[in-house]
Amino acid sequence: MTMPNFLIIGAPKSGTTSLAQYLGQHPEVYISPKKEPYFFAFENEQVDFLGPGIQGKDHIINSAVVVYLEAYCSLFQIEKRPLTIIDNSTGSSLLGMVR
């Protein structure tokens, strides 16, 4: 599988979408059609995007909503994520945008 050779990271409203659109105009650059694919976000985790009480895969919710303090705090326990990105993106560049 071909892995990305660069990742665009940045603060909200810092121009990352514009940068992706500009780079995507180049014939040798492919930009994911999904703006934030969360490729590295759920490694080794069971992800269930079904709503409460929904049975089967016919009614999948597109995103999860965090309503409990413990769940919110767990969002910031991401020590393993950078290592996963490093391990799977050897030779990749990070294009960072700040405002």
| Per-position pLDDT tens, the chain of length 99 | 566 788 888 888 999 999 999 999 999 888 888 787 776 666 666 666 555 555 555 554 545 555 566 766 666 565 566 666 666 666 778 788 888
Q: What are phi and psi of 20, to 5 degrees?
A: -60, -40
Which residue, 34, 35, 32, 38, is CA-closest to 64?
38
Q: Are 8 and 92 in contact (CB under 8 A)?
A: no
What's the farthest any 2 CA atoms get from each other in the chain? 46
